[in-house]
């Protein structure tokens, strides 16, 4: 037997929105619209941080090494790893900053939501990659300066 109420909406109360409801609705709209920009601005900021870490690392490394010290080829390679990781993290953040390509039809709400989710997921992936590379660069750089 089929329930006759399936697919029907039952209205329990109708009234004008309160000021609190309007504020919450506006905050929800703002969160929805700006959620894409937050990830983009984070990537933009981290591009500068990761790029700036390269000369800082080289300067600190230069301060920690005696002027007459002649490193071996292996030491040069180990010393270059953090700078390379900082460069790769900057590239990862750049990939997160640039817009992705998506075909969006404005009359397809589900398509817009799917494209928004894809953009956010893409930026999250590149951000995590960038943070991982940057963190590895910092840890290896600290090890290189203080231990090696």
DSSP 8-state code for residue 4: T
pLDDT digits (tens, 9 = 90+) for 43-78: 999 999 999 999 999 999 888 877 777 888 888 899
- What are all long-range contacts of 121-127, with beta carbons under 8 Å and residues at least 24 apart? 122/96, 123/36, 123/39, 123/40, 123/43, 123/96, 124/39, 125/96, 126/43, 126/92, 126/93, 126/95, 126/96, 127/39, 127/42, 127/43, 127/46, 127/92, 127/93, 127/96
> Could you give the CA distance from residue 90 to residue 78 in angstroms, rounded to a whole number?
20
Share of the chain above pLDDT 70, in %: 91
Structure-block tokens of residue 73: 């080829």
Q: What is the pLDDT of residues 100-134, one digit of tens each?
A: 777 777 777 788 788 888 888 999 999 999 999 99
Q: What is the pLDDT of residue 44?
A: 95
pLDDT score recorded for residue 91:
97
Alpha carbons 70 and 33: distance in angstroms, whole number = 56
Answer whether residue 84 shows pLDDT above 90.
yes
Q: Full-prediction pTM beyond 0.85?
A: no
Output the six-digit token pair for 39.
Answer: 């990830």
> How distant, in Å, are the alpha carbons of 31, 53, 117 from that of 82?
37, 9, 33
pLDDT of 110 reads 82
Sequence spans of domains, the chain: 39-146
Phi, psi of 82 (to 5 degrees): -60, -40
């Amino acid at each position: 037997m089929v329930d006759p109420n399936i697919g029907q909406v039952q209205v329990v109360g109708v009234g004008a929105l309160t000021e609190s409801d309007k504020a919450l609705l506006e905050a929800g709209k703002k969160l929805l619209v700006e959620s894409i920009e937050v990830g983009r601005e984070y990537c933009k900021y981290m591009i500068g941080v990761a790029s700036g870490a390269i000369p800082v690392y080289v300067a600190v490394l230069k301060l920690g090494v005696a002027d007459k010290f002649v490193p071996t080829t292996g030491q040069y390679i180990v010393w270059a790893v953090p700078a390379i990781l900082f460069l790769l993290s900057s590239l990862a953040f750049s990939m997160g900053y640039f817009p992705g390509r998506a075909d969006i039809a404005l009359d397809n709400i589900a398509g817009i939501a799917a494209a928004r989710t894809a953009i956010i997921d893409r930026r999250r992936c590149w951000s995590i990659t960038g943070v991982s590379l940057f963190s590895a660069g910092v840890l290896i750089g600290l090890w290189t300066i203080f231990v090696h």
